[in-house]
Amino acid sequence: MPDYHDDLRLAHVLADAADAATMDRFKALDLKVETKPDMTPVSEADKTAEELIRSNLKRGRPRDAILGEEFGVEGTGPRRWVIDPIDGTKNYVRGVPVWATLIALMEAGEGGFQPVVGVVSAPALGRRWWAAKGAGAFTGRSLTSASRLKASKVSRLQDASFAYSSLSGWEEQGRLDGFMDLTRAVWRTRGYGDFWPYMMVAEGSIDICAEPELSLWDMAATAIIVTEAGGTFTGLDGAPGPHSGNAAASNGLLHDELLGYLNQRY
């Protein structure tokens, strides 16, 4: 199996640079925010962080392609870095500390590109999570100061904690009835949203989570962290990985039931 340690070290360096840039503008009174064509917000910090990551990658990995939320695709080849400079921009612009920079490396293989390295860095929370293919998933301050992540062993839905982002997307897709039935079947529900539920699935602090509409840059890093922690990450269609335009993540033991509820009347 290939060794991705150098790529993981680089991803941490990229995350360090992005953290400095995003924290510098977090809660700034003069932060500039625009509305993109899809009606989602983008701040100057989103653009600055992505530009910073791209410039570092061009120096450190000049032959690799880059896909970012703000500036699209650049380059071709069997290796592609996938970047969400600020996942949770709506939180960021309102001063809510639940946002993160997501950095993933994907490699071409059977079934298309698959994530092989992922880093999720949430500096306002003082948290970072990461994983590399075949090497496990970790959280901590640095590569040398970390603890291994393990998904939970909860095996009954009535004992499970379920996290979601919002209700509107499920309603728009005609999945709201199944979603509501799921919330009634589990022990606990919480609307954490964005990257955080996936990291909590990897940590074992919650058991299942799902979102009805996502982009590749929302999922590439979180997918490998969940799976390397022993969990399962698929689309709502059950296809493994971050390519379905939506996501369901679990400790693995509850995955079929999670998908069953979210697809039951769809």
Q: Along the 266 residues of the chain, how does pLDDT read in single tens digits? A: 678 999 999 999 999 999 999 999 898 878 888 887 776 778 899 999 999 999 999 999 999 999 999 999 999 999 999 999 999 999 999 999 999 999 999 999 887 899 999 999 999 999 999 999 999 999 998 888 899 999 999 999 999 999 998 899 999 999 999 999 999 999 999 999 899 999 999 999 999 999 999 999 999 999 999 999 999 999 999 999 999 999 999 999 999 999 999 998 65
The confidence score (pLDDT) of residue 266 equals 56
The confidence score (pLDDT) of residue 130 equals 98
Residue 181 and residue 172: Cα distance in Å, rounded? 17
The confidence score (pLDDT) of residue 43 equals 82
The confidence score (pLDDT) of residue 171 equals 93
The confidence score (pLDDT) of residue 109 equals 86
The confidence score (pLDDT) of residue 143 equals 85
